[in-house]
């Protein structure tokens, strides 16, 4: 049997995929739009070959990326492929929502004038996108953060900064309780920004 030889293009990586992740959009595309393929977007693996114009990576590197190796990032060998495969799409959505759509300064652009540009409410803070949104908001100084979560509230509590006024509220307590506690956490400040990570 003849072995299939695949070569990357000049600006591409060829990656041996060790783990892939599925996202809600994958099953929604099949269920709601009738797509029969479900390729997923997130993957992690080992670089097999690099194109002639690639300078940042070499064979043997452990990477995570969107499929077709779009925007690859090197991962530590301490990070499992399964952990790394869960990063690309969720982190990208959280970043785009906070720093492009909502217009907050990215963590590397934060100055004393732009910090503390909250309050900011993140609904679904314990999901994949929500957890990245909380962590990015903390790094960008978007406090106080009012994070709405459920069973994983303890996890969300571990990634916020209560000293900055950040709070975690449990949606299972009911709408009225959450609204009351959110107003209490705001302390009279107006809430202009909210990010619903549950869609």
CA angle 113/114/119 to nearest 5° reads 125
pLDDT at 1: 47
pTM (global) more than 0.85: no
Distance CA 59, CA 56 (A): 11
Residue length of the chain: 199
Q: What stretch of H or E contains 72?
A: strand 70-74
Whether residue 71 contacts residue 41, with contact meaning beta carbons closer than 8 Å, is answered with no
Question: What is the chain's alpha carbon radius of gyration, rounded to the nearest angstrom?
Answer: 20
Please give the domain boundaries of the chain with CATH numbers for all domains. 13-86 (3.90.180.10), 91-196 (3.40.50.720)
Q: What is the pLDDT of residues 25-37, one digit of tens each?
A: 777 777 777 777 6
Check pLDDT > 80 for residue 2.
Answer: no
pLDDT at 25: 74
DSSP assignment letter at 10? T
Q: What is the pLDDT of residues 146-186, one digit of tens each?
A: 999 999 999 999 999 999 899 999 999 999 999 999 999 98
Q: What is the pLDDT of residues 51-61, one digit of tens each?
A: 999 999 999 99
Q: What are phi and psi of 7, to 5 degrees?
A: -120, 140
3-state secondary structure of 146: strand
């Amino acid at each position: 049997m003849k072995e299939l030889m695949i070569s990357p293009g000049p600006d591409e990586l060829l990656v041996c995929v060790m783990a892939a992740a599925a996202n809600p959009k994958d099953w929604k595309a099949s269920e709601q739009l009738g797509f029969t393929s479900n390729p997923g977007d997130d993957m992690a693996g080992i670089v097999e070959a690099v194109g002639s114009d690639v300078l940042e990576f070499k064979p043997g590197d452990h990477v995570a990326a969107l499929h077709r190796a779009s925007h690859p990032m090197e991962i530590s060998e301490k990070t499992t492929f399964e952990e790394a495969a869960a990063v690309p799409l969720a982190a990208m959505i959280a970043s785009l929502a906070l720093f492009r759509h909502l217009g907050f300064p990215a963590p590397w652009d934060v100055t004393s004038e732009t910090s503390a540009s909250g309050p900011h409410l993140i609904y679904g803070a314990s999901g994949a996108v929500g957890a990245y949104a909380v962590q990015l908001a903390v790094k960008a100084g978007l406090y106080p953060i009012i994070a709405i979560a459920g069973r994983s509230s303890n996890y969300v509590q571990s990634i916020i900064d209560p000293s900055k006024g950040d709070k975690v509220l449990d949606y299972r307590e009911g709408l009225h309780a959450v609204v009351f506690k959110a107003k209490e956490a705001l302390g009279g400040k107006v809430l202009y920004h909210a990010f619903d990570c549950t869609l």
